[in-house]
Amino acid sequence: MEAKQNSGAIRFIDLFCGVGGFRVATKMVCEEKSMESICVFSSDVDPDAQNTYEANFGEKPAGDITKISAKDIPDHDLLLAGFPCQPFSIIGNMNGFEDARGTLFFDIARILEEKKPKAFILENVKQLKGHKYGQTLKRIIETLTDLGYYVDFRILNALDFGVPQKRERIFIVGFREPKYFVWAKGEVPMKPLSEILEDDVRDFYYASEKIKGNRIDKRKGKKQHDEITIWHENKGGNISAYPYSCALRAGASYNYLLVNGERRLTEREMYRLQGFPDSYKIVSSYQVTRKQTGNSVAVPVVAAVIRSVLDALEQEEVPLEEFVSTTIGQLSFVFEKSEVKYLMNTR
């Protein structure tokens, strides 16, 4: 299987870009491959996210994507989108496509239909897979397949990619042409919390004596750790302690995560838990940063998916006669052979 000559550049768009996790990851992977990464369009409706993005990348994202014509978006090779996850999340009301924000997926679809990029990567919460007994994901896959893409999805955990944060997210990838595609397996040793946490932390981040005492009481009789842990309080009030963080969440309570049951994470620590480099500029308030990092992607996971997608794009097109197609309803299925994914399409 011969690889194509490297074109030297990848043009991409960054939809629902937030603070730019997809863009950081794309730049990282392209530098590895000696390619130039060119962001030709970015969009996010949140003013704080726009300001943070501009401070780091030198350009302000466009606003409401629903008000932007697909024809006005520049041509690109790769569409990236961590589309709003609340409609599919356990934190939301589980209304899915009945929630107006759920329809933002169809703004992705109309751009794919108009611009026809070579590939796309979408990211969402893992609950999307089981939402409405799988009907929501089925509708998404059907739409992408009808647009002419070869589609596959997988749930990946940031813990498997070196980040000390249990953050499971579903990734959906698609190609205009059939490609050999291999999902990254992870298997990256987890960075210890000691390399994430800052040494000198101001009193501002410490919980009150009452809250700390409450946490200690709830942990009595449970497994104790000699190493640094982050204590997590779930909706039922149960306190767990792990040598890694549970998923950062935009709408979680103020003391949702406490280092050793004593203090909140600093702004830099939150970004580190998402795999951002320390060169990334933090320009927002503490509360806004909590929201932004909770909504962000884990950079090392996204980088692994982008790397696999670019590897696939560098290969020659797969002859259709090599495909074996089986279809149930309207969904395409994926078969494995010698650790290689064959992306099926029912068109």
Using DSSP, state whether 307 is helix, strand or coil. Answer: helix
CB 241 within 8 A of CB 230: yes
Give pairs for 304-308: CB < 8 Å, separation 24+: 304/156, 304/161, 304/184, 304/186, 305/121, 305/156, 305/171, 305/173, 305/183, 305/184, 306/22, 306/25, 306/26, 306/29, 306/80, 306/121, 307/29, 307/32, 307/184, 308/173, 308/181, 308/182, 308/183, 308/184
> Is 39 known to be catalytic?
no
214: Cα separation from own chain's centroid: 34
Cβ within 8 Å of residue 8, ≥6 positions away: 34, 35, 36
For the chain, give the number of residues: 347
Please give the distance of CA 111 from its chain centroid, rounded to a whole number. Answer: 20
How far, rounded to the nearest angstrom, does the alpha carbon of residue 182 sit from its chain's CA centroid? 18
Residue 268's Cβ-count burial label (10 Å; 0-12, 13-18, 19+) is middle
Q: Where do runs of H (alpha helix) occur along the chain?
A: 21-32, 47-57, 105-115, 135-146, 209-219, 267-273, 286-295, 299-313
Q: Residue 25 corresponds to which tokens in the numbers above?
A: 């990851």
Task: Please tell me which residue in 17, 30, 39, 85 is annotated as part of the active site.
Answer: 85
Half-sphere exposure for 255 (CA within 13 Å, toward CB): 19
**What letter does residue 91 receive in the DSSP assignment?**
T
Helix (H, G, I), strand (E, B) or coil at 320: helix
- CA-wise closest residue to 124 among 252, 302, 336: 302
Residues designated as active site:
85
